[in-house]
Amino acid sequence: MVMKGKKGVILGIANKKSIAYGIAKACQEQGAQMAITFLSERFEKKLAPIAQELECGTRLYPCDVSKPEEIVALRESLKEDMGEIDFIVHSIAFAPKEGLSGRFVDTPKSAFNVAMEISVFSLVEVAKELKPILSKNASILTLSYYGGVKYVPNYNLMGVAKAALEMTVKYLAEDLGKDGIRVNAISAGPIKTLAAAGIGDFSFLLKWNVHHSPLKQNVTIDQVGNSGMYLLSDLSSGVTGEIHYVDSGYNIMGLPAVDFDEKGKASIAWNGE
């Protein structure tokens, strides 16, 4: 199995619809041992059955990335229970609701700061604090979205955060590369997750992606999970600093897909109705 003998930690599973769960499941099926984290006691109860399914044993730890002491405590728990680890999955993002609606120019500074701290700086802090227990040739993976590259309606502040996250991946990849540590991101197509519930008209994005992506379908957490497993495994030992798209090819499109009539006149293949 591709991940046999590998040990790692997954930060950011909310439920079985989470992309992070898809990655964890793919890694576990390929022989990896894992620990997972929870944000609060409310999530601990929800994640206990998932931890059991993923054969984590008692390796279910608290980690609110807005509290540096909890990241340090996570490192110590991992060190005690697992020793060195081979991979980290960072699936954490948050923006206050006032940063996800209305005009972008009206974004409050407080919302901007929170989004950057939780969605971007947390990757730097997790990498820094867990680095002492990372094995040689370890891999770090985070999650992005196309809204960090191009404008996506209602994504607003989170789009800016994802843009910063993608550059953070590149700078971390260069900095940690000298230590043999790889850092990559997956930019997944729209998936109906708990995080997606905060994006206005998300159902429209799902339909639009189906009609205008080359594969004419939305991706699943299993598809993203398999790609994540590849980036965490030795199969991708020569890959770092990459933003790997798993979006049915939507990111390659310069214009919406079009239909042509018998006279060669073009029209948009789907108008959203």
Please indicate whether residue 145 is annotated as part of the active site: yes
Report the chain's mean pLDDT, rounded to a whole number: 93
CA pair distance 199, 100, nearest whole angstrom: 7
Average pLDDT of the residues in 162-183: 98
Question: Do the beta carbons of residue 74 and residue 9 sit within 8 Å?
Answer: yes
Q: Are 194 and 18 in contact (CB under 8 A)?
A: yes
Work out whether the CA dihedral 96, 248, 211, 262 comes out positive or negative. positive
Q: Is it the case that residue 258 has pLDDT exceeding 80?
A: no
C-alpha to C-alpha distance for 111 and 158, rounded to whole angstroms: 10
- In this predicted structure, the answer to whether residue 270 has a pLDDT above a threshold of 80 is no
Output phi, psi for 218, to 5 deg: -85, 155
Catalytic residue among 21, 61, 146, 155: 155
- 173 with 183: CB under 8 angstroms? yes
pLDDT number for residue 140: 98
Residue 95 is which amino acid?
A
More confident residue, 100 or 143: 143
Q: Give residue 273's pLDDT band: very low, low, confident or very high (50, 70, 90).
A: low
pLDDT of residue 192: 78
| Residue 250: pLDDT over 90 | yes
Q: What are the structural domain ranges in the chain?
A: 7-197+218-248
Q: Closest Cα to residue 192, out of 180, 184, 183, 201?
A: 201
Question: 243 phi and psi, to 5 degrees?
Answer: -110, 100
- If you average pLDDT over residues 119-127, what whole number do you get? 98
What pLDDT band is residue 198 in, cutting at 50, 70 and 90? low
Residue 34: closest CA among 62, 15, 53: 53
CATH of 7-197+218-248, one of 3.40.50.720, 3.90.280.10, 3.10.129.10, 3.40.50.920: 3.40.50.720
- 21, 61, 145, 146: which is the annotated catalytic residue? 145
